[in-house]
Amino acid sequence: MPPIALSLIVLLGTAAATVLGFGLQPRLGSGAPAKGTREGVRIAMGLMTTFTAIVLGMVTASAKDTYDQAAAVITGMSVDFLTLDRQLDGYGPEAAEARAELKTCLSRMAERLRLGELYFEGNKEAVEVGTSVERMWSSVQSLTPSNGRQEELRDQALSIISGRVKFGPGNIEQQRWAFAVKPASVPGVFLVVVVSWLLLEFFALGLFCPRETAVFVAIGLAAVVVSSSMFLILELEDPVTGLMRVPLESLDLARDLIGR
C-alpha cells in the first residue's frame, strides 16, 4: 500500500474513532466522573499512549537506519568510482578504454537509481549494470604494465573494484546489486496492530474528553501528527522509489569528473 494512502486511512480512521467516542459519550451518564474513575482513565490512556509511542519510535529509528544505509552506499560508491578513475588516470593513456567503461557503468547505475523502477523479478537493469562492471573489471585486468608504477596502479584499481580497498559499504562488484532487491517492508500484521492501537486511543479521547473547541483542535492536530508519522516511516523504508529518495548528486558529480 502506498504510504500516502495508509496515512490518509489513519487520518480518517482516527477522526471517525474520535467522532464515535464523542457520540457515545452521553451513554456514560451525566455529571462529573468520580476521582477514582478519572485516575483509572488517566492510567489506562497513559499506558496506551506510552506503548504506542515506544513502538512507533523503534520503527522510525529502524526506517531511518535503512535510509542512512542507502545514502552511505551512494556516497561510498561515488568515492570508490572517483578513486578508481584517479588510479587509471595515473596509469596513462593505455587505460582510456577502462576509464570510459568506468563512466558508462556509473552512468547506468545513476540512471537506474533515478528511474526508481528497480524492484521486480528478473531485474534487467541490474543485469546490464552487472555486465558493465564485469567489462570494466576485464578492461582493467587486461592492462599490461610496462613498469612497476603501472603495475602498482593496476593492482590498486583491481583492489578497489573487488573491495580490498573501499570507502563505502560493500564494493563496486557488490554495489551494483545494492538496490536490485527490494528491502523488507513493515509487516502488514504489524501495521494493522499499530493502527488499531491508534484508533482505540482516539476513540478513548472522544469518549472521555469534554466537547470543547480547544479539545477538537488538539485532537485534530494529534491525528495529523500520527498519520504523517506513519507516512514518514513507510517513506524512509523505501529510499529509492519513494517520495523521499536518497540524493544522487554525488553520483552525478562523480560521473562528470570521471575522464577529466
CATH number assigned to the domain comprising residue 137: 1.20.120
116 assigned to some structural domain? yes
Least confident of 133-137, 234-238, 244-248, 251-255: 133-137
Q: What does the pLDDT read at residue 181?
A: 55
Please tell me the number of Cα atoms within 13 Å of 49 on its side-chain side. Answer: 11
Query: Residue 140 belongs to what domain range?
Result: 65-183+247-257
Question: Is residue 13 pLDDT above 90, yes or no?
Answer: yes
Q: What is the mean pLDDT of residues 29-33?
A: 55
Query: How many secondary structure helices (H) and strands (E) does the chain include?
Result: 9, 0
Q: What does the pLDDT read at residue 203?
A: 92
Q: What does the pLDDT read at residue 18?
A: 93
Please report the sign of the dihedral spanned by the C-alpha atoms of residue 174, residue 179, residue 180, residue 183. positive
Q: What is the pLDDT of residues 110-154, one digit of tens each?
A: 877 777 654 444 445 444 555 566 777 778 888 888 888 888 888
166 assigned to some structural domain? yes
Structural domains counted in the chain:
1
5 assigned to some structural domain? no
Q: What are phi and psi of 148, to 5 degrees?
A: -65, -35
Q: What is the pLDDT of residues 42-52, one digit of tens each?
A: 888 888 888 88
Mean pLDDT of the chain: 79
161 assigned to some structural domain? yes
93 grid coordinates: 593513456
Q: What is the pLDDT of residues 172-225, one digit of tens each?
A: 555 555 555 555 566 778 888 888 989 998 998 888 888 889 989 999 999 999
16 assigned to some structural domain? no
Across 23-37, 38-52, 72-86, 191-205, the highest mean pLDDT is recorded for 191-205
- Of residues 141 and 32, more confidence is placed in 141
Torsion of CA 15, 21, 23, 28, to 10 degrees: -170
222 assigned to some structural domain? no
Q: How confident is the model at residue 167 (pLDDT cuts 50, 70, 90)?
A: very low
87 grid coordinates: 588510479
Question: Is residue 238 pLDDT above 60, yes or no?
Answer: yes
Distance CA 183, CA 173 (A): 19
79 assigned to some structural domain? yes
Are 193 and 7 in contact, with CB atoms under 8 Å apart? no
Torsion of CA 155, 157, 158, 163, to 10 degrees: 120
DSSP assignments along 127-156, one per residue: HHHHHHHHHHHHHHHT---SSHHHHHHHHH
- Of residues 23 and 178, more confidence is placed in 23
Distance CA 56, CA 225 (A): 12
92 grid coordinates: 596513462
22 assigned to some structural domain? no
Q: What share of the chain is helix, strand, coil (3-state, %, to 5)?
A: 75, 0, 25
Across 67-81, 134-148, 153-167, 217-231, the highest mean pLDDT is recorded for 217-231
Q: How confident is the model at residue 11 (pLDDT cuts 50, 70, 90)?
A: very high
Please report the sign of the dihedral spanned by the C-alpha atoms of residue 224, residue 191, residue 55, residue 14. positive
Question: Is residue 255 pLDDT above 60, yes or no?
Answer: yes
Residue where the block lists cell 563496486: 172
